[in-house]
């Protein structure tokens, strides 16, 4: 699970019916099926949404949970009530299940925990064809990646099975470096472009010039993965060179090499990434102790807020938290924060739904719940609430991502600025008319209320072509037109880059029936224009550049990075080595010179204490001797 959270319930209903979780007899009463769901807090849509089914009795539903309950009643004729509880970590969740005090129909753990639960025989497999929405809309690349993770299923045969048979992907993301180039540059007397370039290398976390700028995750697996990338950095770079799939220097993916690199280079990366033998763990411990000496400290879940507040300049972050920080930083504190997955790659993670075995399992309803979440309309609502990236693609998700990141949307539609006395930037959106259609820019500029009607009349434009003042043109031609006729300075000019998200959306879009999509975003919906990518030239005389990105980059990594992202699997029997290592890293470990200084201070303190008691003892003896002497003198005088 890529969020550290508090254990709270989504609704008061969960508390009212909590006793019903303890056994089968109370799981279904008076015709009400109580579906017991265990998930992470803030990990499901909590905003009002419109129904996608024709039988809907209401125009909107309060949130995803209430929409599912309505869907079960209105479409399937079932009276289902969701008992929704949350947990803080995978380990807490697993411990709770093993006590046997509570049973759940659905749980949403991370990939390595799914492996562990499978191997211990804790999971019920999904039925074939039980989740048609998932089968239709889940990203084929992500599904294939999930298929590649295997585990035993606890039947004692020793045979390995793909975890995809026992789980359905929910959210996914990466681990990278979140950084504020302006703050770091100011703190350290550097140029911002130098900071941006350095963040393309995991070694920057250990670089003394960034000492005390970064906080790292108080998470054993995540921080261990960064140690792996540092320890085996030379081997990873050599593999990148030898593979023939990547350019020299920045290791950008060569054109046309994606498919082969994913399935041939990726296993090499995964082999290194999952080394956890005793010798490797000991070496990683040394690397992480060095890292500990260079960073500001560990954090559980405060890093994303600390970045917004400017308390730190760098943070080891999950991609979803990175999006949160970048959004808030830009809109609340005018901090432009960036996210980097270094050039040699890193960790890709998955959270998925599983069904724990129990006598009270409502398997049919559990599978229906997962499939409901896998409908693109619901997946979109989930993404809009939590900021993480759904396993689901499809047209609705495509439209959502375009509305967030595609500069074509901001070029042709009116942007409504809702920020005011009683509103926040989160309320801002495109302007809609009485028919719920997005209003086109009409060339009248920015109005007093903040709504941007643009400098050009874009009426009739689509993502396939621009219509500028009544003249149709490609979006590449639009950029030239804008720069020549609207931009007042070189800084105002636009030059959009292109991102290829074929790996995410291929085969999931209903609008695409052609076998050979075009070569530009105008005629290929898998391609996206973007105005956030920055090419940063090396400040060290090397003849190559690295890419710096922000929200879009964090939400959907560039295609060239995908083959370099590896899944960290369950450590199995090697868990004991990693746990011991982490205790040592988190402990008060001192370098040799520190131990010597501490020892000298300790010995000096002991010597002072000993001298005090010796002195006190001697003084006591002197006082006794004086009293005896005085007493003897007094007796003589008598």
In the chain, the N- to C-terminal Cα span, in Å, equals: 91
Q: Which residue has the higher pLDDT, 626 or 143?
A: 143
- Look at residue 24 in the predicted model and tell me its pLDDT: 41
The CATH homologous superfamily for domain 12-171+351-389 is: Periplasmic binding protein-like II (3.40.190.10)
Residues in Cβ contact with 219 at an 8 Å cutoff, skipping those fewer than 6 apart: 4
Element (H or E) spanning 221, and its range?
A: helix 220-231
Q: Which residue has the higher pLDDT, 507 or 226?
A: 226
pLDDT tens digits for range 411-432: 999 999 888 767 888 888 999 9
- Look at residue 513 in the predicted model and tell me its pLDDT: 55
Residues in Cβ contact with 14 at an 8 Å cutoff, skipping those fewer than 6 apart: 83, 84, 85
Q: Where are the beta strands (DSSP E) in 118-196?
A: 123-124, 150-152, 160-162, 168-179
pLDDT tens digits for range 34-67: 999 999 988 999 999 999 999 999 999 999 999 9
Instruction: Count other C-beta atoms under 10 Å from residue 274's C-beta.
Output: 19
CB 150 within 8 A of CB 161: yes
Q: How confident is the model at residue 156 (pLDDT cuts 50, 70, 90)?
A: confident
Kindly tell me if the per-residue pLDDT of 310 is higher than 90. yes
Q: Give the mean model confidence (pLDDT) for residues 200-226.
A: 96
Q: Which residue has the higher pLDDT, 613 or 124?
A: 124
Q: Give the mean model confidence (pLDDT) for residues 68-86.
A: 97
How far apart CA 6 and CA 195 sit, in angstroms, is 34
- Look at residue 26 in the predicted model and tell me its pLDDT: 45
Kindly tell me if the per-residue pLDDT of 602 is higher than 70. no
Environment class of residue 196 by beta-carbon count within 10 Å: exposed (0-12), middle (13-18) or buried (19+)?
buried
Backbone angles phi, psi at 258, to 5 degrees: -60, -55
Kindly tell me if the per-residue pLDDT of 15 is higher than 70. no
- Look at residue 7 in the predicted model and tell me its pLDDT: 35
Q: What does the domain layout of the chain look like in residue ranges?
A: 12-171+351-389, 593-638
pLDDT tens digits for range 360-398: 999 999 999 999 999 999 999 999 989 899 999 999 999
Predicted TM-score (pTM) of the model is 0.86
Three-state DSSP at 384 gives helix
168-179 and 346-353 strand pairing: antiparallel
pLDDT tens digits for range 268-301: 999 999 999 999 999 999 999 999 999 999 998 8
How far apart CA 101 and CA 107 sit, in angstroms, is 15
Closest CA to 401 of 523, 515, 525: 525
Q: Which residue has the higher pLDDT, 636 or 169?
A: 169
How far apart CA 302 and CA 215 sit, in angstroms, is 10
Q: How confident is the model at residue 328 (pLDDT cuts 50, 70, 90)?
A: very high
Three-state DSSP at 310 gives coil
How far apart CA 585 and CA 594 sit, in angstroms, is 16
Query: How large a percentage of the chain has pLDDT more than 90?
Result: 76
CB 402 within 8 A of CB 384: no
Q: Give the mean model confidence (pLDDT) for residues 151-176.
A: 93
DSSP string, 257-286: -HHHIIIIIHHHHHHHHT--SHHHHHHHHH
* Mean model confidence pLDDT for the chain: 88
């Amino acid at each position: 699970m890529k969020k550290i959270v508090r254990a709270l319930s989504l609704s008061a209903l969960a508390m009212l019916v909590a006793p019903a979780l303890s056994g089968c007899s109370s799981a279904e009463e008076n015709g009400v099926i109580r579906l017991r769901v265990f998930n992470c807090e803030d990990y499901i849509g909590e905003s009002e949404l419109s129904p996608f089914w024709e039988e809907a009795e209401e125009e909107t539903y309060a949130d995803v949970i209430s929409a599912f309950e309505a869907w079960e009643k209105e479409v399937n004729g079932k009276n289902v009530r969701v008992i929704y509880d949350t947990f803080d970590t995978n380990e807490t969740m697993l411990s709770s299940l093993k006590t046997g005090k509570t049973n759940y129909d659905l749980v949403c753990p991370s990939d390595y925990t799914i492996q562990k639960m499978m191997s211990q025989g804790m999971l019920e497999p999904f039925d074939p064809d039980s989740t048609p929405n998932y089968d239709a809309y889940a990203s084929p690349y992500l599904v294939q990646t999930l298929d590649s993770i295997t585990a035993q299923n606890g039947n004692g045969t020793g045979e390995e099975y793909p975890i995809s048979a026992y789980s359905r992907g929910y959210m996914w993301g990466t681990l990278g470096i979140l950084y504020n180039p302006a703050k770091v540059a100011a703190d350290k007397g550097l140029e911002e472009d130098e900071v941006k370039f350095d963040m393309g290398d995991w070694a920057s976390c250990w670089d003394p010039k960034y000492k005390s700028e970064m906080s790292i995750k108080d998470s054993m697996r995540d921080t261990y993965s960064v140690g792996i990338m540092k320890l085996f950095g030379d081997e990873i770079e050599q593999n990148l060179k030898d593979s023939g799939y990547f350019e020299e220097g920045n290791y950008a993916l060569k054109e046309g090499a994606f498919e082969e690199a994913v399935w041939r280079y990726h296993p090499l990366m995964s082999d290194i990434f999952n080394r956890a033998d005793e010798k490797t763990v000991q070496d990683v411990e040394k690397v992480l102790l060095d890292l500990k000496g260079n960073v500001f400290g560990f954090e559980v879940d405060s890093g994303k807020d600390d970045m917004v507040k400017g308390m730190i300049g760098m943070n080891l972050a999950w991609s979803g938290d990175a999006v949160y920080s970048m959004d808030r930083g830009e809109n609340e504190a005018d901090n432009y924060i960036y996210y980097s997955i270094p050039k040699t790659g890193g960790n890709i993670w998955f959270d998925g739904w599983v069904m724990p075995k129990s006598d009270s399992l409502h398997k049919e309803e559990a599978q229906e719940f997962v499939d409901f979440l896998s409908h693109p309309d619901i997946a979109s609502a989930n993404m809009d609430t939590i900021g993480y990236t759904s396993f689901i693609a499809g047209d609705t998700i495509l439209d959502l991502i375009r509305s967030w990141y595609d500069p074509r949307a901001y070029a042709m539609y009116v942007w409504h600025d809702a920020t005011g006395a009683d509103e926040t930037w989160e309320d801002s959106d495109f302007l809609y008319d009485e028919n719920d259609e997005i209003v086109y820019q009409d060339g009248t500029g920015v109005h007093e209320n903040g709504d941007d009607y643009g400098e050009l009349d874009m009426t009739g434009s689509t993502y396939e072509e621009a219509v500028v003042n009544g003249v149709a043109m490609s979006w590449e031609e639009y950029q030239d037109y804008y720069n020549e006729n609207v931009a007042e300075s070189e800084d105002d000019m636009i030059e959009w880059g292109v991102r290829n998200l074929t790996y995410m959306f291929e085969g999931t879009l209903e609008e695409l029936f052609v076998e050979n999509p075009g070569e530009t975003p105008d005629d290929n919906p898998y391609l996206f224009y973007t105005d956030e990518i920055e090419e940063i030239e090396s400040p060290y005389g090397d003849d190559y550049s690295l890419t710096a990105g922000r929200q879009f980059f964090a939400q959907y990594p560039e295609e060239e990075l995908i083959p370099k992202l590896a899944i960290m699997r369950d450590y199995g029997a090697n868990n004991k080595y990693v746990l011991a290592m982490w205790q040592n890293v988190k402990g008060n470990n001192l370098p040799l010179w520190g131990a010597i200084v501490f020892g000298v201070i300790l010995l000096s303190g002991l010597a002072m204490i000993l001298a005090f008691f010796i002195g006190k003892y001697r003084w006591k003896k002197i006082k006794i001797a004086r009293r005896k002497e005085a007493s003897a003198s007094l007796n003589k005088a008598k």
